Structure 1
């Protein structure tokens, strides 16, 4: 294939070729006009939004085109010759997409599992040398009609047509305004599953998450892990011109994600419901401490605030200690999970209705949902949960126990498991002891049973406890309490592809957690660390929006990007 050096000119030639109306093979079936639409294929297997095939093409069309040998784009006598692939058009009224992909008005988001080198070549192809900012460039950049790529625009991330791994969310594009933890974790899940996520950061300084955690040789490694698989641009949405650019970008995306305090978008004239009305297929996901409604909606929040306000701290800790924050930023990560679930549900609904919607996630709600059903129990019985440390309110033994060289946990929930444990610790008679027969009896005598188990564990090493109680022994649920230093070499995590090592220009390599849900047919992947600040400005502003280099320079000079 010809190299991407002249990708801009080639894309222009390709569009002009489409307008000739010479796309072959427009079939008719059962009396339905245009039963099959021609799909012009650009490098990378994506359709040309400016070409003759108006129907949106998803990842399946790309795979089919590659499998059937739909040829690569090539230059001949100065014209781009392209083959087309024919796909049946959905006949349902109103038309809706059959996959989770997006808007027929915009160019297709590529599958991020494609080789990064090809995308880098496409980014370089869209730039022309020797342009400097000129007066009026900023105004022209902002006045271009929303959702329309300029003549210089090339398809974002164009690449050579080839069979590619297709991920579950291939074709879905997310504009990510989130920062810190909850929102970036939400969008990282979507990126893991194949969505093209474009992370937006402030031009000066970027996401505060770049600076909050320990760095390695000046590299913000936690930020790079949390924002894995994403592209990065800079945009000041507090700037009027920045909000105009944001509105232009919305015509090219399926999802807008943000985690400002409740009501912030509305205060900027970007209320989620209004954006959904302006872009009927758009999904706007808002993650905040207390949601977009209610008397606390405008309050700011961090993880510990969510854990306290959601009740989680009231049930965490030991009886004689203050309420305790759950380890890690649990309130943020749980809200991020719910955000991803909400977005996936909205995408599934859009595939049936053709319409997007607003998704509103509150961190307080998220933590309240984790209270082990105690709101229901309290409403029915008046009882309130106490703090029991590592023990359980419904069964025993269930605790962390100190061995000679570390800690282990042992969890018993049935009489059968307790009898196996009693035999393994050399006290088989405990299995028939009336004090310990049944979960209620063991719970009533939990101090005694925990002391018995704890005394036995104290005389063993961690390895000896695992040998005695593990699958080759008594088969009692148990585990060592691992530290991070042990987990980064754990054979189970290695076998599950949960320890992904990516090359890094300064550190040599970077370890990033892998994809949690393992999909058999459309697996997710971790293929790149988080972006440098503004790393993909040229690709997005020139390649996606079709701005000219002088216009981008003017926006940069004005502090908009």
Structure 2
């Protein structure tokens, strides 16, 4: 076996065991990223209903495809942490785990008797990743938090929407996704820190903090001018032309991110060289200030052509441009869907054949893989309890009868 074959048989996180107590979107998303790179992820749910997301559509054969997308590459067990036996089983699992993920409101795990301090005593090397709406400390720590709250209080809605329009939520759960990604970053930082210190630690990630950080230059502009950023449609507050433009049959995005691109665009694409020396458009700040005026001139050109023609002519000269895809177009795009493998077909035991989202992170020697579909509720109770913890089949049956699992 040569070195390449050895690498292909290895996954980057295959030496890590993760206990995933999270629900809904942000936490499960983090767990799935770790699982895609080979971590042994054990999804722990309450008996009966399990993760709230099991109740979210769409459904196939009575099973939630929403849940299945976010929980692939995980084993699944049920565990009632309100029972003493349930807590004892969790502590036994913690002894064998590297990472625990949870997204309860701060303090809930402590009330259950399995908070960080307890788990750290059981396994000092455990990395405890906690994700919540507002974080575990500060005046708002006990507030409940969902994605829309994070978009509202993190500032994203205030800068999203048409000019003069109402604050607008992004069309996806952006706060949840950012929070999940930051949780992954945090736990993997702690994995590295453990090589230095020999001990695990607690990671505290807030959905609101995650959204605040994503607004990057909005705050810098405010600190400089004391003026509130405004909703500006698809225009960018720092660069122009950098916007959506009408074509014959739809809209297109064109992004002149520097002066060289701008001059080339004016000279070689739209053939309006006068815009380079026009006093209204001489500098980036002036172009931002007069974007709506300049946009009219650009659209006099773009509306003569189809979206595909505008994109082709603009890209041909090296200027960034692209169509505004809908979901159907994305799933059929040869670069995104096929070459980049952003949609992967899996066989689910109840749903059957389905596609799930691919992983955007590509380790070129250890690519992400979907090794197994999301588990049905309690699917791996016997395997985990018997193989990992040494329970007998009779003891497992007793746990079921006592509603511990």
Distance 1:505 1:235, change over 3 A: closer
Find the aligned partners of 1:163 and 1:546 in 2 and give their Cα distance.
32
Tell me the SS of whatever aligns to 1:488.
Answer: helix
Find the aligned partners of 1:449 and 1:165 in 2 and give their Cα distance.
55
Find the aligned partners of 1:538 and 1:394 in 2 and give their Cα distance.
57
Aligned to 1:79: none
TM superposition shift of 1:304: 0.5
Aligned to 2:325: 482
Aligned to 1:401: 245
Aligned to 1:128: none
Find the aligned partners of 1:315 and 1:164 in 2 and give their Cα distance.
44
Contact persistence 1:413–1:439 (CA under 8 A): no
Contact persistence 1:256–1:283 (CA under 8 A): yes
Distance 1:311 1:241, change over 3 A: same
Aligned to 2:124: 280
Contact persistence 2:101–2:128 (CA under 8 A): yes
Tell me the SS of whatever aligns to 2:131.
Answer: strand
Find the aligned partners of 2:356 and 2:169 in 1 and give their Cα distance.
25
Q: CA RMSD in A?
A: 2.0
Normalised TM-score (structure 1): 0.68
Distance 1:340 1:163, change over 3 A: closer
Matched ranges for 1:369-408 at <5 A: 369-408=213-252
TM superposition shift of 1:301: 0.8
Normalised TM-score (structure 2): 0.94
Aligned to 1:315: 159
Tell me the SS of whatever aligns to 1:387.
Answer: coil
The structure with the largest helix share of the pair is 2
Contact persistence 2:147–2:173 (CA under 8 A): yes
Find the aligned partners of 1:300 and 1:500 in 2 and give their Cα distance.
34
Find the aligned partners of 1:504 and 1:197 in 2 and give their Cα distance.
17
Which has the higher relative contact order, 1 or 2, with Cα contacts under 8 A spaced 6 or more apart? 2
Find the aligned partners of 2:2 and 2:76 in 1 and give their Cα distance.
32
Contact persistence 1:515–1:526 (CA under 8 A): no
Q: In the TM superposition, what whole-angstrom CA distance separates every residue of 1:86-140 from its partner, at most 9, and x where no partner exists?
A: xxxxxxxxxxxxxxxxxxxxxxxxxxxxxxxxxxxxxxxxxxxxxxxxxxxxxxx
Aligned to 2:83: 239
Further displaced range: 351-360 or 430-439: 430-439
TM superposition shift of 1:253: 0.7
1:430 aligns with 2:309: no
Contact persistence 1:258–1:287 (CA under 8 A): yes
Tell me the SS of whatever aligns to 1:359.
Answer: strand
Tell me the SS of whatever aligns to 2:38.
Answer: coil
TM superposition shift of 1:454: 2.4
1:495 aligns with 2:363: no
Aligned to 1:449: 294
Further displaced range: 424-433 or 226-235: 424-433
- Structure 2 residues without counterparts, runs of 5 or longer: none
- Structure 1 residues without counterparts, runs of 5 or longer: 1-65, 69-161
Contact persistence 2:72–2:373 (CA under 8 A): yes
Distance 1:480 1:231, change over 3 A: same
